[in-house]
Amino acid sequence: MTQQHQAPTWRRPVWAPVLPLAAPSIATEPALARQWLARSMFRPENELKRARRSTYHRRMSLRAVPESMDPAVVGSVDAELDRIEREHRVSVRLAIESGSRAWGFPSPDSDYDCRFVYVAELDTYLSPWRTRDVIETPLIGLLDVNGWDLGKALRLLVNGNAVLIEWLMSPIVYRGDERFRAELRELAEQVAARDKVARHYLHLGTRQWDLFDRNRSLKKVFYSLRPAMALRWLREHPEAAVAPMHLPTMLAQCELPADLVAAVSDLTELKSRTREMGSGAVPAPIAAFIASEFDCAADAFPRTTPEDPKRVRALTAEFFRAQALSVR
């Protein structure tokens, strides 16, 4: 009787545990995470890609786009983010609207300013050859899409740059990993130095106020008003380092004179229906408020260094490593 030979099949060794398709967190399960990375090197490449894609799409659950936004432009933003992920081989963890639409004072012709935070492939971070830590795309019509590598975003956050904080607080989200945003918000609360963040707003606001003095463009008033309101919000919330991005939200959460609130509301309404606001005098309550807040901020938020820079660096490094090692 002829013996039939069957093709050998691979069997998982008894010593090889069944590991999840998604990488465990290195922060909470370091041993299992290292085991996952080691074992993943022996998985077939297509299986790994399918696992990563499946896990990634399950996690990208954030989406908050108002109906007032042009569906065609929003579709173009989505397509551009897909192209960026594919061509740059990165994972976009959070993509938001960062312009006047998210700030709460859009014009009929406001740009669509999409900003995103991405994580590159692990090989990028393990290579001795540095690559750019920003992804920029050409401005096409009203569409402006640009992003930062997570490492760059974290370094700027620690140095007092409020941009990442604002992205995390944006009310308009094109896509995002809900857990990523929640954990990064929590990290920002822990490591952002409120005095440094406030001085970022002070520098930004005074620069815009000087520009207004030169051209008297009423549209530019908002670019001084919003930093001034952020400074007021931080003064009235002394335990917080992260202010809302949305101007109407800050107005609602601060104790303000009624004539100021009315003046801001009138100017916002005018901007919402006028493509060109022209030049002119700033409503007196707004001008007085901006000047007062900038004067107060210089004393209220002194130049300081972090109380424990080693702790701040350790926390941000731990978060970065966890994201760099996670499945994209």
Q: Is residue 134 part of a domain?
A: yes
Helix axes 309-325, 178-191, angle to 10 degrees: 170
The number of beta carbons lying within 10 Å of the beta carbon of residue 146 is: 15
Top-confidence residue, 237 or 217: 237
Mean pLDDT of 68-76: 93
pLDDT, position 69: 92
Name 25's Cβ contacts closer than 8 Å, sequence gap at least 6: 33, 322, 326
pTM score of the predicted model: 0.78
Predicted confidence band at 278 (pLDDT cuts at 50, 70, 90)? Answer: low
Predicted confidence band at 59 (pLDDT cuts at 50, 70, 90)? Answer: low
Q: Give per-residue pLDDT as tens, 163-175.
A: 999 999 999 999 9
Q: How far is CA 260 from CA 141, 189, 232, 278, in A?
A: 35, 30, 13, 21
Q: Are both 317 and 295 inside the same structural domain?
A: no
Q: Are both 53 and 175 inside the same structural domain?
A: yes
- What is the domain-level CATH number for residue 247? 1.20.120
Mean pLDDT of 318-327: 90
pLDDT above 70 covers a percentage of the chain that reads 79
**Count of structural domains, the chain:** 2
Q: Give per-residue pLDDT as tens, 231-266.
A: 999 999 998 988 999 999 999 999 999 999 999 999
Q: Are both 42 and 165 inside the same structural domain?
A: yes
Whose structure tokens read 């933003």?
77
Tell me which residue range forms the domain holding 208: 194-300
Predicted confidence band at 16 (pLDDT cuts at 50, 70, 90)? Answer: very low
Q: Are both 176 and 201 inside the same structural domain?
A: no
